[in-house]
Amino acid sequence: MDFRMIVIVMAFVLTNIDGFSCLAAEAAVSSPARWWRASVEASVAFALLVIACLIASFAVATISAGNVAWLGIVPAAIGLGKVITAFGKQTATARSASIAAIVFATGMDNVAMYVPLFALLGAMRASGVGLVYAVVFAALATAIMFIAPNVTHLARYRRFVDVALGVFFIAVGVEIIRHGLS
Protein backbone atom coordinates (compact mmCIF):
# COMPACT_ATOMS: atom_id res chain seq x y z
CA MET A 1 0.00 0.00 0.00
CA ASP A 2 1.26 3.46 -0.93
CA PHE A 3 2.36 5.66 1.99
CA ARG A 4 0.04 8.43 0.80
CA MET A 5 -2.92 6.05 0.99
CA ILE A 6 -2.02 5.16 4.58
CA VAL A 7 -1.85 8.89 5.42
CA ILE A 8 -5.21 9.51 3.69
CA VAL A 9 -6.93 6.75 5.68
CA MET A 10 -5.29 7.67 8.99
CA ALA A 11 -6.03 11.38 8.47
CA PHE A 12 -9.71 10.58 8.10
CA VAL A 13 -9.86 8.21 11.06
CA LEU A 14 -7.91 10.31 13.51
CA THR A 15 -9.37 13.71 12.62
CA ASN A 16 -12.92 12.44 13.02
CA ILE A 17 -12.62 10.67 16.36
CA ASP A 18 -13.65 13.85 18.18
CA GLY A 19 -16.67 14.39 15.95
CA PHE A 20 -17.74 10.78 16.30
CA SER A 21 -17.34 11.07 20.08
CA CYS A 22 -19.71 14.03 20.06
CA LEU A 23 -22.19 12.08 17.94
CA ALA A 24 -21.97 9.19 20.40
CA ALA A 25 -22.65 11.55 23.29
CA GLU A 26 -25.65 12.96 21.44
CA ALA A 27 -26.96 9.46 20.75
CA ALA A 28 -26.63 8.56 24.41
CA VAL A 29 -28.85 11.44 25.53
CA SER A 30 -31.35 11.75 22.70
CA SER A 31 -34.27 9.67 21.60
CA PRO A 32 -34.08 7.17 18.74
CA ALA A 33 -36.37 9.47 16.74
CA ARG A 34 -33.62 12.11 16.74
CA TRP A 35 -30.84 9.71 15.64
CA TRP A 36 -31.65 9.80 11.91
CA ARG A 37 -31.91 13.58 11.87
CA ALA A 38 -28.66 13.94 13.79
CA SER A 39 -26.74 11.59 11.49
CA VAL A 40 -28.04 13.37 8.36
CA GLU A 41 -27.24 16.78 9.87
CA ALA A 42 -23.70 15.65 10.79
CA SER A 43 -23.15 14.12 7.34
CA VAL A 44 -24.23 17.26 5.50
CA ALA A 45 -22.07 19.44 7.76
CA PHE A 46 -19.07 17.18 7.17
CA ALA A 47 -19.64 17.23 3.39
CA LEU A 48 -19.67 21.05 3.51
CA LEU A 49 -16.45 20.98 5.55
CA VAL A 50 -14.79 18.72 2.95
CA ILE A 51 -15.97 21.00 0.13
CA ALA A 52 -14.47 24.01 1.93
CA CYS A 53 -11.19 22.09 2.33
CA LEU A 54 -11.18 21.17 -1.36
CA ILE A 55 -11.75 24.78 -2.39
CA ALA A 56 -8.99 25.96 -0.06
CA SER A 57 -6.63 23.26 -1.34
CA PHE A 58 -7.28 24.29 -4.95
CA ALA A 59 -6.36 27.86 -3.99
CA VAL A 60 -3.27 26.62 -2.18
CA ALA A 61 -2.33 24.50 -5.21
CA THR A 62 -1.57 27.70 -7.12
CA ILE A 63 1.37 28.21 -4.74
CA SER A 64 4.65 26.51 -5.65
CA ALA A 65 5.15 22.99 -4.24
CA GLY A 66 8.05 24.11 -2.06
CA ASN A 67 5.90 26.72 -0.36
CA VAL A 68 2.87 24.42 0.05
CA ALA A 69 5.11 22.13 2.07
CA TRP A 70 5.30 24.75 4.80
CA LEU A 71 1.55 24.27 5.39
CA GLY A 72 2.67 21.10 7.16
CA ILE A 73 3.55 23.35 10.08
CA VAL A 74 -0.19 23.78 10.79
CA PRO A 75 -1.03 20.12 11.52
CA ALA A 76 2.30 19.66 13.31
CA ALA A 77 1.55 22.61 15.61
CA ILE A 78 -2.00 21.40 16.28
CA GLY A 79 -0.61 17.93 17.02
CA LEU A 80 1.93 19.34 19.46
CA GLY A 81 -0.86 21.25 21.21
CA LYS A 82 -2.98 18.09 21.47
CA VAL A 83 -0.08 16.11 22.97
CA ILE A 84 0.71 18.87 25.48
CA THR A 85 -2.89 19.32 26.61
CA ALA A 86 -4.02 15.67 26.45
CA PHE A 87 -3.34 15.03 30.11
CA GLY A 88 -4.63 18.38 31.34
CA LYS A 89 -8.09 18.98 32.74
CA GLN A 90 -10.74 17.15 30.72
CA THR A 91 -14.02 19.00 30.33
CA ALA A 92 -17.33 17.63 29.19
CA THR A 93 -18.65 18.84 25.88
CA ALA A 94 -21.80 20.88 26.32
CA ARG A 95 -24.80 19.92 24.23
CA SER A 96 -25.35 22.26 21.38
CA ALA A 97 -28.53 23.20 19.62
CA SER A 98 -27.11 21.70 16.46
CA ILE A 99 -25.09 18.63 15.56
CA ALA A 100 -23.85 20.57 12.53
CA ALA A 101 -22.35 23.16 14.87
CA ILE A 102 -20.53 20.38 16.72
CA VAL A 103 -19.17 18.96 13.46
CA PHE A 104 -17.92 22.39 12.40
CA ALA A 105 -16.45 23.10 15.84
CA THR A 106 -14.59 19.79 15.95
CA GLY A 107 -13.66 20.10 12.28
CA MET A 108 -10.84 22.60 12.56
CA ASP A 109 -8.32 19.77 12.86
CA ASN A 110 -9.83 18.34 9.67
CA VAL A 111 -9.22 21.62 7.87
CA ALA A 112 -5.64 21.82 9.13
CA MET A 113 -4.99 18.28 7.90
CA TYR A 114 -7.04 18.10 4.70
CA VAL A 115 -6.05 21.38 3.01
CA PRO A 116 -2.30 20.64 2.71
CA LEU A 117 -2.99 16.95 2.05
CA PHE A 118 -5.50 17.71 -0.72
CA ALA A 119 -3.15 20.34 -2.19
CA LEU A 120 -0.39 17.74 -2.50
CA LEU A 121 -2.76 15.15 -4.02
CA GLY A 122 -3.89 17.32 -6.92
CA ALA A 123 -7.41 18.29 -7.94
CA MET A 124 -8.73 14.98 -9.32
CA ARG A 125 -7.33 12.70 -6.63
CA ALA A 126 -8.28 15.15 -3.85
CA SER A 127 -11.85 15.36 -5.18
CA GLY A 128 -12.11 11.56 -5.16
CA VAL A 129 -10.69 11.34 -1.66
CA GLY A 130 -13.07 14.08 -0.49
CA LEU A 131 -16.05 12.21 -1.93
CA VAL A 132 -14.97 8.97 -0.25
CA TYR A 133 -14.47 10.85 3.04
CA ALA A 134 -18.01 12.27 2.87
CA VAL A 135 -19.61 8.90 2.05
CA VAL A 136 -17.68 7.02 4.74
CA PHE A 137 -18.45 9.75 7.28
CA ALA A 138 -22.18 9.47 6.50
CA ALA A 139 -22.11 5.69 6.93
CA LEU A 140 -20.15 5.89 10.18
CA ALA A 141 -22.31 8.71 11.56
CA THR A 142 -25.41 6.62 10.97
CA ALA A 143 -23.84 3.53 12.55
CA ILE A 144 -22.61 5.52 15.54
CA MET A 145 -26.03 6.96 16.26
CA PHE A 146 -27.37 3.41 16.67
CA ILE A 147 -24.35 1.79 18.36
CA ALA A 148 -23.16 4.61 20.63
CA PRO A 149 -25.74 4.37 23.41
CA ASN A 150 -24.21 0.99 24.24
CA VAL A 151 -20.54 2.12 24.34
CA THR A 152 -20.51 5.51 26.04
CA HIS A 153 -18.22 4.12 28.76
CA LEU A 154 -15.28 4.51 26.32
CA ALA A 155 -15.09 8.26 27.01
CA ARG A 156 -12.51 7.66 29.74
CA TYR A 157 -9.95 6.79 27.03
CA ARG A 158 -10.22 10.17 25.30
CA ARG A 159 -6.87 11.49 26.55
CA PHE A 160 -5.08 8.52 24.98
CA VAL A 161 -6.86 9.17 21.71
CA ASP A 162 -5.80 12.83 21.94
CA VAL A 163 -2.14 11.80 22.38
CA ALA A 164 -2.36 9.42 19.41
CA LEU A 165 -4.03 12.13 17.35
CA GLY A 166 -1.37 14.65 18.35
CA VAL A 167 1.51 12.34 17.45
CA PHE A 168 -0.16 11.55 14.12
CA PHE A 169 -0.63 15.25 13.33
CA ILE A 170 3.03 15.94 14.10
CA ALA A 171 4.13 13.03 11.90
CA VAL A 172 1.90 14.06 8.99
CA GLY A 173 2.94 17.70 9.31
CA VAL A 174 6.62 16.73 9.19
CA GLU A 175 5.93 14.38 6.26
CA ILE A 176 4.10 17.12 4.33
CA ILE A 177 7.04 19.45 4.89
CA ARG A 178 9.58 16.75 3.98
CA HIS A 179 7.67 15.58 0.88
CA GLY A 180 7.04 19.09 -0.39
CA LEU A 181 10.62 20.24 0.09
CA SER A 182 12.23 17.20 -1.55
pLDDT at 163: 77
User: Does residue 137 or residue 159 have the better pLDDT?
Assistant: 137
Q: Measured in Å, how far apart are the chain's first and last C-alpha atoms?
A: 21
Q: Is the pLDDT of residue 29 over 90?
A: no
Domain with 58, as residue range(s), is: 3-24+33-181
Residues 70-129 have pLDDT tens digits of 767 776 777 777 677 766 655 544 444 467 777 776 777 788 888 888 888 888 999 999
Percent of the chain at pLDDT exceeding 90: 8
Highest mean pLDDT range out of 29-33, 73-77, 143-147, 172-176?
Answer: 143-147
> Residues 6 or more apart from 146 whose CB is under 8 A from it?
27, 35
pLDDT at 58: 85
pLDDT at 128: 92
pLDDT at 164: 73
Domain count, the chain: 1
**Where does the pLDDT of residue 38 fall: very low under 50, low under 70, confident under 90, or very high at 90 and above?**
confident
Question: What average pLDDT is seen over the chain?
Answer: 75
pLDDT at 134: 92
> How far does CA 50 lie from the centroid of its chain?
10
User: Does residue 50 or residue 7 have the better pLDDT?
Assistant: 50
The whole-model pTM stands at 0.66
Question: Is the four-CA dihedral 155, 159, 160, 166 of positive or negative sign?
Answer: positive
The three-state (H, E, C) secondary structure of the chain, written as one string = CCHHHHHHHHHHHHHHHHHHHHHHHHHHHCCHHHHHHHHHHHHHHHHHHHHHHHHHHHHHCCCCHHHHHHHHHHHHHHHHHHHHHCCCCCCCCCCCCCHHHHHHHHCHHHHHHHHHHHHHHCHHHHHHHHHHHHHHHHHHHHHHHHHHHHCHHHHHHHHHHHHHHHHHHHHHHHHHHHHHHC
Q: Are 129 and 118 in contact (CB under 8 A)?
A: yes
